Amino acid sequence: MDGYRLMIDCSYWQQALGFGEFKEYVDGLIPRSTYGTWKDKKFKEHVKGAIDFGYDHIATFSWFRPMQNVKAQIDAVRQQLDGTPINFVWADIEES
What digits encode the pLDDT tens for the residues 45-67?
999 999 999 998 999 999 999 99
Q: Which residue has the higher pLDDT, 5 or 32?
A: 32
Q: Give residue 41's Cα distance to chain centre.
A: 11
DSSP-derived 3-state class of residue 9:
strand
- How much is the pTM? 0.87
Q: What pLDDT was estimated at residue 81?
A: 97
Please state, in angstroms and rounded to a whole number, the distance separating the CA atoms of residues 44 and 82: 10
pLDDT at 40 over 80: yes
